[in-house]
Structure 1
């Protein structure tokens, strides 16, 4: 198959490029960073092709239509993933990019679109256990969640034979430049504050499991609607236990202290207010990022198991170990 991957220079994107090419597919990938792209091409076991493209730019739509000619599958993983940012930045990166992808699919009659979304669209500042794909969605807790909801609505309305939306929770692994650095920054804090006793149950997803879900999605038969699947490791873990595992694997001394959630939330509100007057500054934590560690959020994987045949291929413990080993091999500071 000929597969085009948007956001191929990102964390998930590079793993998709490498593993789909390894499986024998003809892989093209887009991205903004030519230097990163060169390293991805060099590290690939089989030939892959890079097409420089910045979503939301003047000619992005035309460029995407040109390079997607003859594609059998388009995997849309390009996105701005952050707990903080402007409405324009998220709309441009997450909504405009999806519009460009859909236009390319229609122009070239691409029969299969796989859109990487996020369970952040479920989040509502409360404990949520066993979330199913069909629950009523809140309005969106931040600009990121709102933009991903809007992108999903565009995909659901598209006239493409096979449309798949994957909602992987907290992706981590080698080359992670979003979740892992933030967690390590918390661990290095000294006396790590545990919110609500550190009892919140968290779902995480090792990156190879997301790639596995993409591979399974490609094999689905066309349907009349959009297929939506939760994806995770299926091993919810208490926040305090997760911190302990990571501290052990990364060799970081861990000291914890219980802190009232309402105090931390108030501090986060103050930081967010300050950040509004400093547009280029991201607060060290936000109400959303704190709440994801204070409230339980676990996903029901029944539909992914039954329809996709999905089952995680890498356990949580093995994923953390692999990530820590890679981190140390790169000579990075934990």
Structure 2
């Protein structure tokens, strides 16, 4: 397991726990030794941690060393953010892939599962049932650009068994990005509904993504005649207004919504992005991309994953929200902050 946050991050820790529970010997990487200790505490025996800071001078050698004898690498490294410097995205999303591929070559690790993103499909239009072979638009930001470039590196490496997964909007226990952002919007009041709040959103409960990782590791060989790329989601598109309602009910929070004109919000976002470079260290409170993800529909065609990975989402959207709300209450207190 390799990541800029690796097994200490959201998806990474769930992969570590699942594979450890299956009896696999796991070495996971990351930068946060404190979080690594908490992951190990819940993983049980035969799990080791190696501190790796992708992009640093020693990262390539350290990663190669801990991959000695490995049968497979699951690579979750990413800076997944709507804003950041070009250098930061390239270090987390491209340098990390270079280091992982070098480790595969040096240690003869033939099997790689690389976690990518459907952000590479996004183009500020409604896109429904997007297939893996759909034409890719010009990347809308540095995150999408570097995730697309990372996929190209993996495909160019031509490993005997490499799989690329594009999971959409992962949520669940230990989520520190998607659901917290939605909860903050609800708590602030007057949740903005852009374009009528009718955009269809595909989400993916984290256990379903881990199922896809397991299926990828078990796939005998790369699919013949197709790129080994798979869309992953819950397959339950929901309107953004309905999603906010379901979350507010599960978390016992009052919900107030307010229709807002998308073009005005987009103009404000453009102005904020234009001003951000003038204030060192300041990030816009929202970006064109973050607004776009709740204003435009994006749903994924899962037929390839269903056919070749036998992927079937086991945890429904409502059950995933329920499980997440229970975990949040137990770990964060009665109400989200």
- The TM-score normalised by the length of structure 1 is 0.97
For residue 310 of structure 1, give the secondary structure of its aligned residue in structure 2. Answer: coil
What residue in structure 2 maps to residue 20 of structure 1? 19
1:219 aligns with 2:209: no
Unaligned runs of 5+ in 1: none
What residue in structure 2 maps to residue 230 of structure 1? 231
1:290 aligns with 2:307: no
1:326 aligns with 2:327: yes
The structural deviation recorded for 1:226 is 4.1
For residue 188 of structure 2, give the secondary structure of its aligned residue in structure 1. Answer: coil
What residue in structure 1 maps to residue 243 of structure 2? 242
Deviations 1:167-205 (A, max 9, x none): 000000011111111111111221111101100000000
- Aligned counterparts, 1:1-334, within 5 A: 4-6=1-3, 7-223=6-222, 226-332=227-333, 333-334=335-336
Deviations 1:216-270 (A, max 9, x none): 0011122366410000000000000000000111111111111110011111112
For residue 276 of structure 1, give the secondary structure of its aligned residue in structure 2. Answer: helix
The structural deviation recorded for 1:155 is 0.2
For residue 153 of structure 1, give the secondary structure of its aligned residue in structure 2. Answer: helix
Aligned length: 331
The structural deviation recorded for 1:321 is 0.5
Given that 1:272 and 1:286 are in contact with CA atoms closer than 8 Å, whether structure 2 keeps it comes out as: yes
Given that 1:163 and 1:226 are in contact with CA atoms closer than 8 Å, whether structure 2 keeps it comes out as: no
For residue 253 of structure 2, give the secondary structure of its aligned residue in structure 1. Answer: coil
The structural deviation recorded for 1:272 is 1.3
Distance in 2 separating the partners of 1:26 and 1:5: 14
Moved more, 224-233 or 46-55: 224-233
Unaligned runs of 5+ in 2: none
Given that 1:8 and 1:78 are in contact with CA atoms closer than 8 Å, whether structure 2 keeps it comes out as: no
Given that 1:12 and 1:207 are in contact with CA atoms closer than 8 Å, whether structure 2 keeps it comes out as: yes
Given that 2:2 and 2:29 are in contact with CA atoms closer than 8 Å, whether structure 1 keeps it comes out as: yes
Distance in 2 separating the partners of 1:281 and 1:319: 34
For residue 88 of structure 1, give the secondary structure of its aligned residue in structure 2. Answer: helix
Given that 2:93 and 2:147 are in contact with CA atoms closer than 8 Å, whether structure 1 keeps it comes out as: yes
For residue 130 of structure 1, give the secondary structure of its aligned residue in structure 2. Answer: strand
The structural deviation recorded for 1:78 is 1.4
Distance in 1 separating the partners of 2:133 and 2:144: 16
Distance in 2 separating the partners of 1:141 and 1:132: 19
Moved more, 71-80 or 281-290: 281-290
Distance in 1 separating the partners of 2:88 and 2:302: 31
Given that 2:2 and 2:30 are in contact with CA atoms closer than 8 Å, whether structure 1 keeps it comes out as: no
Distance in 2 separating the partners of 1:205 and 1:155: 23
Given that 2:194 and 2:260 are in contact with CA atoms closer than 8 Å, whether structure 1 keeps it comes out as: yes
Deviations 1:50-95 (A, max 9, x none): 0000000001001111000111010000111101111100000000
For residue 109 of structure 2, give the secondary structure of its aligned residue in structure 1. Answer: coil
For residue 162 of structure 2, give the secondary structure of its aligned residue in structure 1. Answer: strand
